[in-house]
């Protein structure tokens, strides 16, 4: 028997319905924000995908050659392709605001929650320097999560300029700052001692590491933490700029309506090397064990790296598939109905063509309808409708047809009612 390839999965109708529902909700919110859809291919030229990815990611890329020996690779995220589009279409009206929802592929160790094919839902804004763009993409994601049924959030924010200034202030040499970023990023995973161990390579003095970790430990209410950070970093103009960017972000968040959830966490790094300003992550309250559900940040230097004009950019992404099991745990799908609402049951094959006409009439009225295809007796048809959880059966018989009528059977109560065909759609709609 054939299985889907290791690390991938099939979505049987019940699961695909849930996933489609999540995607539809998210898309509705993104479009209410005026984000425009952008579609890019599933694979890209390998060299393009390698530009902005760190070594970790390169190991996870599915790469291959086409039949003309071109080096291609499945996309591992949706941003790189978007940056390619922005870099090569210099006539785009800025700000350019796009959303993208689609699958990406990473060769990672599969687990119950981690697949090698998974769907991401992104919003990004190109061409805006001010923190309002960061505040807005974060707002779009928070609103999308609210739309699909989450209620409370923990939103951690930081700014890469603050982080790099603290690293400098701690006495870690500039050229080691990327290594320090990566070490700090593992804080939650490997703990304080683990980070100090990792930092040994970046700093001659353990003292610097401890000082760094103490400063990074600052976390809490944005007003308080940012005021302390500004004092601490007063000799580091970039760090102060980072603080100001977050102050603005917090101010805008009040307008967008999610300020109450924000915490400034000076240890937040968000892994990827290319962030240049604010970084952020969203955790759903009550579902902390799933870690951050959405995350992103500002990457002002990437468009230029891709050969475009220097263009500010910020964006956020979340994993659609990972949301589904969390939403299941919340019971978000309990009232959702898969498949047809109405089953049309001809009493015999002689009335089948008439039954098809009734079926089509209901479908044209937007009512999801199936009709018997097996020539089964009426009792068997009721059994099938019951098994498929279809709430209403419309029985089509010769005698009723002569009166331009059919019978509606409620599968829950067993009640039956004779209805004129001309009134059927309205009755069932």
Nearer to a second copy, 4 or 201 (CB): 4
Residues between 280 and 309 that touch a second copy (CB under 8 A): 306-308
254 binds a second copy per the rule CB under 8 A: yes
Q: Give min distance, CB of 238 to a second copy, in A.
A: 22
Q: Give min distance, CB of 375 to a second copy, in A.
A: 7
**H or E element, residue 320:** helix 320-330
Nearer to a second copy, 231 or 360 (CB): 360
d(C-alpha 84, C-alpha 301), whole Å: 13
Nearest to 322 by CA among 100, 16, 30, 19: 19
How many of the other CB atoms lie within 10 Å of CB of 76? Answer: 21
- Binding mask of the shown chain, residues 212 to 251, with x at each position contacting a second copy by CB under 8 A: ---------------------------------------x
Residues between 131 and 150 that touch a second copy (CB under 8 A): 132-133, 136, 139, 143
**Binder to a second copy among 155, 345, 370, 393 (CB under 8 A)?**
370
Strand 392-396 versus strand 342-346 pairing type: parallel
162 binds a second copy per the rule CB under 8 A: no
What SS3 state is found at 123? strand
Backbone angles phi, psi at 214, to 5 degrees: -65, -45
Residues between 76 and 115 that touch a second copy (CB under 8 A): 81, 84-85, 87-89, 93, 95, 97-98, 103, 105, 107
Q: Give min distance, CB of 17 to a second copy, in A.
A: 6
**Binder to a second copy among 243, 332, 355, 406 (CB under 8 A)?**
355
Task: Kindly compute the dihedral angle of the four CA atoms of residues 118, 119, 123, 126, in this order, to the nearest 10 degrees.
Answer: 60
Residues between 306 and 335 that touch a second copy (CB under 8 A): 306-308
d(C-alpha 139, C-alpha 125), whole Å: 13
**Binder to a second copy among 57, 357, 378, 407 (CB under 8 A)?**
357
Specify which residues 37 forms β-bridges with.
99
Stretch that binds a second copy, among 195-203, 293-301, 362-370, 418-426 (CB under 8 A): 362-370
d(C-alpha 239, C-alpha 236), whole Å: 5
What SS3 state is found at 245? helix
128 binds a second copy per the rule CB under 8 A: yes
Cα separations (Å) of 18 from 54, 138, 193?
33, 24, 42
- Binding mask of the shown chain, residues 12 to 31, with x at each position contacting a second copy by CB under 8 A: xx-xxx-xx-------xx-x
């Amino acid at each position: 028997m054939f299985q889907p390839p290791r690390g991938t999965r099939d979505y049987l109708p019940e699961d695909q319905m849930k996933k489609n529902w999540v995607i539809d909700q998210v898309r509705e919110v993104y479009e209410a924000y005026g984000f425009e859809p952008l579609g890019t291919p599933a694979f890209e030229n390998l060299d393009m995908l390698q530009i902005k990815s760190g070594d970790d990611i390169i190991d996870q890329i599915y790469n291959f050659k086409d039949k003309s020996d071109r080096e291609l690779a499945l996309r591992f995220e949706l941003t790189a392709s978007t940056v390619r589009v922005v870099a090569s279409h210099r006539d785009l009206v800025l700000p350019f605001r796009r959303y993208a929802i689609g699958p990406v592929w990473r060769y990672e160790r599969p687990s119950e929650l981690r697949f090698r094919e998974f769907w991401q839902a992104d919003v990004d804004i190109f061409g805006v320097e001010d923190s309002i763009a960061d505040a807005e993409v974060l707002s779009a994601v928070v609103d999308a999560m609210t739309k699909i049924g989450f209620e409370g959030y923990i939103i951690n924010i930081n700014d890469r300029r603050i982080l790099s200034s603290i690293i400098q202030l701690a006495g870690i040499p500039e050229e080691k700052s990327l290594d320090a970023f990566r070490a700090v990023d593992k804080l939650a995973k490997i703990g304080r001692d683990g980070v100090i161990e990792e930092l040994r390579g970046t700093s001659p003095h353990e003292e610097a590491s401890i000082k760094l970790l103490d400063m990074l430990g600052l976390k809490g209410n944005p007003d308080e933490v940012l005021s302390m950070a500004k004092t601490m970093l007063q000799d580091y103009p970039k760090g102060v700029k980072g603080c100001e960017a977050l102050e603005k972000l917090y101010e805008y968040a009040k307008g967008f309506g999610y300020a109450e959830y924000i915490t400034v966490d000076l240890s937040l790094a968000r892994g990827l090397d290319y962030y240049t300003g604010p970084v952020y992550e969203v955790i759903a309250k009550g579902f902390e064990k799933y870690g951050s559900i959405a995350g992103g940040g500002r990457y002002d230097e990437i468009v230029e790296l891709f050969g475009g004009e220097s263009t500010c950019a910020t964006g956020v992404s979340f994993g659609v598939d990972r949301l589904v099991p969390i939403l299941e745990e919340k019971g978000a799908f309990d009232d959702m109905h898969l498949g047809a609402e109405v089953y049309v049951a001809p009493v015999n094959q002689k009335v089948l063509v008439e039954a098809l006409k009734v079926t089509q009439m209901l479908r044209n009225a937007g009512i999801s309808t199936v009709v018997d295809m097996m020539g089964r007796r009426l009792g068997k048809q009721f059994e099938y409708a019951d098994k498929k959880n279809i709430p209403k059966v419309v029985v089509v018989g010769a005698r009723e047809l002569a009166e331009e009528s059919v019978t509606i059977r409620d599968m829950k109560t067993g009640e039956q009612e004779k209805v004129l065909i001309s009134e059927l759609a309205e009755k069932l709609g």
